[in-house]
Amino acid sequence: MKKILIFKTDRVGDLINITPVINNLKLNNPDCRIDLICSNYNFQIAKYIIGINKIFIYENSILKFLKVNLKNILSTKYDLIFQLDGKTHSYFLATIHKSIKKFSLKFIKKKKFFGRYFQISRPNFLYEYFINTIECVENYNLSNNKSYHYLSLYFQLLKKAGFNIINKGHVLYYKPEMRVVKFDSEYIHFHIDEKWLNFNRNIHDKIIEFIRSISLSHNIAISSNLGENILFDRISKEFSLNKNILFLKSPDFSNLISIIYHSKTCISSHSGFIVHLAACYNKNIIDIVHQNIFNELDRWIPLNAIYKRYSLDDIEKINLD
């Protein structure tokens, strides 16, 4: 039985983005044991991922992590380690772990010091001596930017480790027990998080008019981020009497999964959690973002997803069909 350790201590959407990696490991070797080192935050999703044997939580301190998990982890000789979060602490922990083979992306970028550009990389040359890497250039303006699509690079790591890519889709088999949104017919999910607060009043007005327009023919469930959101409050006040719109302020992870699971289409300003979770359930995905990050987002779009992207200037052109 192969023993595999995966590092993913970053955001929730990033963790969902590697569910195809976990799924393909299990499809290639159903009896393999997969352990995961995640963050305290993305643990809320990690606990739903089928195929994980044991979860270790990293909480911003290598010393604290080693104190709690030294015996459990370092005493286990893993056949394979995949360091998939690019964090310095993960490179260090991956290096000191017992393992036959270790794999990671090598992130390369140029930085300017004293008027000159220097190329730097993660992991540095000391860690790279112990880890097999595939290069990922961190320059979102490259003409071949799609060549550094993150999930595709993770699949290259799997191939390098001897695994076949059997299924490229996102996977989260968790089915919510409770239906949070109780419309009698299908509905659109619109997530208004803190990113929307960076847009000007004109964009906010456009969003309100867009919601008004689609509410004539669609039910809409509008959710917000945790905490306060003045745009969400404005929209909820504007449409307080509209029976086709349901407002869900600060839903927790479990409720948000239910909202997405039962929806037809998910709209956000590229909320990683929304986009990647919607891909797990084959929902229509619509991103509304600044034109200047289109190229960057090409690295993050789930493979085989039903995905459309619109700029903030083209909100009125959004097609829900």
At 57-90, the pLDDT tens digits run 998 888 888 888 877 777 788 999 999 999 999 9
Q: How much is the pLDDT for 212?
A: 97
Q: How much is the pLDDT for 115?
A: 67
Q: How much is the pLDDT for 112?
A: 66
Torsion angles phi and psi, residue 187, rounded to 5: -145, 160
Compute, in degrees rounded to 10, the torsion defined by CA atoms 44, 131, 1, 159: 90
What domains are defined for the chain? 3-160 (3.40.50.2000), 187-317 (3.40.50.2000)
Torsion angles phi and psi, residue 265, rounded to 5: -135, 140
Dihedral-angle region of residue 225 (phi above 0 means left; psi in -120 to 50 means alpha; beta otherwise): beta
**Sign of the C-alpha dihedral computed for residues 279, 280, 283 and 289 taken in this order:** negative
Torsion angles phi and psi, residue 299, rounded to 5: -80, -15
Q: From residue 62, how far is each of 33, 41, 109, 243 by CA, in Å?
A: 24, 17, 25, 51
Q: How much is the pLDDT for 121?
A: 85
Measured CA to CA, the distance from residue 98 to residue 95 in angstroms comes to: 8
Dihedral-angle region of residue 9 (phi above 0 means left; psi in -120 to 50 means alpha; beta otherwise): alpha
pTM for the model stands at 0.94
- State the DSSP code for 132: E
Q: Is the pLDDT of residue 126 over 80?
A: no
